[in-house]
Amino acid sequence: MELTLDRLSKQFGEKIAVDRVSATLTPGVYGLLGANGAGKTTLMRMLCDVLRPTSGQIALNGRSVRALGAEYRSHLGYLPQDFGYYPEFTALDFMGYMAALKGIPASVSRRRSLELLDAVGLRDMAKRRIKTFSGGMKQRLGIAQAMLNQPGILVLDEPTAGLDPKERVRFRNLIASFAQDKIVVLSTHIVSDVESIADEVIVMRAGSFIMRGHPETIVSALEGKVWECVADAREAAALESRFIVANAHYTPDGRNALRVIADRCPTPSATPLRPTLEDVYLHVFRDEL
C-alpha cells in the first residue's frame, strides 16, 4: 500500500493552512509534530477525505482518492481531535453503531467490537454507558472504533490526549502491533509518544514540512547543542533570559540544574547531554513558545 501526497495545499480565505506538501507514505508509523496552527489537523482531514484540497492531490496506489471515493474511505480509520459520542449508549452499543456505519456485517460486528474493547482495556466496561466514562476511557473507545474496519490507513489526531502514562504505554504497544503492514499517521503534543513509536517524524511549521526522518536522525541534528548547567539563582536567571531551558530542578545543595539548548557551550562548566526529540521541538519552535 502506498499513499502519495502531491503538492497538497489547503487555503481558507487568505490563510494558507497547508502549503504544497509532498510525501510518499508506505506501511509504518508517521508522527506529525508541530505547534498549534501548523496545519496538522487540516492535513489529516484531507487525508481522510473530509476536506477537499485547494490544489494538489492524494493518491492511493497511484489512483486519485477522489476517483476512488467510497472505496478509498473503506480503507480508512479515523479518530478526529474532537470526537462525538452518544452518552446514553453503552460502549458495546456504540461500537455496534459505528460498525453499521462502516458497513461491517452484524455477524462480524459484535466479535470484532469485543476484541477491540479488550485490546484497549475496556472489555469489562462494554455494557456501561459512555456518560460514565472518564476522558481517558472515551479516548480509548475512540481508538477502538477507528480500528473496527481493519483499516489499511489509520489517522489519529491527538490520540493520547487524556490518557494516563499506563494507558499511553498500552496505546503505543497497540499501535506498534497494528502498524506492521498498515500506514498510521498520528499527531500529538506528547513528544515522547512520537519518539517511542514513530518510524518517521514529520515536523510541520506554517503548513509546510520542515523536517522529516527517523526519530534518531531528527534528534542527531541537535547533537552538541544540549547542555546541563549548574548555577546559583542569579546565574540561572541569566541563562533563562539568553537560552532555551528545557528543564530545571534543584540539586541537593540548593543550586539550579538547567537543561539548556544552545548552539555553543553556554558556560565554562556546562556538560553536554544527549538530545531528545522534545529538545528538537523546543529548538524548532522557540519563537512560538
pLDDT at 171 over 60: yes
Averaged pLDDT, 241-256: 91
pLDDT of residue 289 exceeding 60: no
pLDDT in tens, 92-143: 999 999 999 999 998 899 999 999 999 888 999 999 999 999 888 898 899 8
Give yes or no for residue 26 having a pLDDT over 70: yes
Instruction: Quote the CA–CA distance of 245 and 141 in Å, as a whole number.
Output: 37
Please give the residue that has the higher pLDDT: either 136 or 33: 33
pLDDT at 85: 85
Domain with CATH 3.40.50.300 in the chain: 3-219
32 φ, ψ to 5°? Answer: -90, 125
Using one digit for the tens of pLDDT, what is the confidence trace for 231-240?
999 999 999 9
Percent pLDDT > 70 in the chain is 99
CA separation (Å) from 172 to 40, 47, 175, 248, 264? 20, 22, 5, 28, 35
CB 232 within 8 A of CB 256: yes
CATH superfamily, with its number, for domain 3-219 = P-loop containing nucleotide triphosphate hydrolases (3.40.50.300)
The 8-class DSSP code of residue 171 comes to H
Q: Is the pLDDT confidence value at 162 over 80?
A: no
The pLDDT of residue 82: 79
